[in-house]
Amino acid sequence: MNTAEAIRSIRFFNGLPDELADKLASISVIKTHPKDALLFESDSEANGFYAVLTGRMKIFRTSPSGKEHILHIFGPGELFGEVAVFQGGTFPANAQTLEESSTLFIPRSDFRAMLGREPDMALKMMGLLAGRLRSLVNKVDDLTLKETPSRVASYLLLLHSSQNGDTFQLDLPKGQIAFYLGTIQETLSRILKRFVDEGLIELRGKEITLLDKAGLQDLADESR
């Protein structure tokens, strides 16, 4: 894939006039990364932002003692690191590949200049940022107003909604799922066991079957 094809493969750039797409393509760079590669760190200087071409990326924060909290997971076609383009000039969190991946890197200043000339793109970008805000508000809400089993149930239902059957594979190692849900491996393990005991799910390794979706939904809606 060359950068022009890459730009065109990204949903966000749909509708961009050819001339501008080519301009962007000419200044952006395709990078490849092995599994577990760190693309950038919180507070490091940002000269641009990224789009995932292949693979997956996790955006996270860590505590000095090694605990981490995963804020987002992005797959092909999604942008990340764009906050730094508009404010502060540094990244607000860390980005690391979950598997071998490739990305498109787009320099900050040229992109800003383009937004200044393309009101539609600018509005799209505001929509993207607003959507991110919504998802973070929900996260804060979940973390403070819900218990862990409730978040686990939500997560399972979320996974389910992007599958076609009631049986599917967990998309991440359980330790990573725990970090995504704001908890730790052991706690997640115990909660999943409880779900099995209560007949809500079936579990064979990474394969999971939802047996009682209504029950899970009730749990997901519970709050303190």
Interface ranges with a copy of itself (CB under 8 A): 61-65, 67, 69, 71, 82-88, 92-93, 112, 115-117, 119-120, 122-123, 125-127, 129-134, 136-141, 143-146, 182, 223-224
Q: Which is nearer to a copy of itself, 5 or 218 (CB)?
A: 218
- Residue 46 DSSP class: -
- Answer with the entry of DNA, a copy of itself, none that 53 interacts with (C-beta below 5 to 8 A by kind): none
DSSP H/E element including 158: helix 148-161
Q: Which is nearer to a copy of itself, 169 or 217 (CB)?
A: 217
- Answer with the entry of DNA, a copy of itself, none that 198 interacts with (C-beta below 5 to 8 A by kind): none
Residue ranges binding DNA (CB under 7 A)? 65, 67, 147-149, 173-175, 182-190, 192-193, 203, 205-206, 224
- Answer with the entry of DNA, a copy of itself, none that 15 interacts with (C-beta below 5 to 8 A by kind): none
CB-based contact 26:20 (threshold 8 Å):
no
Q: In the sheet where 38-40 sits, what is the strand order? A: 38-40, 94-97, 57-62, 68-74
CB-based contact 213:159 (threshold 8 Å):
no
DSSP H/E element including 202: strand 201-204
Strand, coil or helix: 48: strand
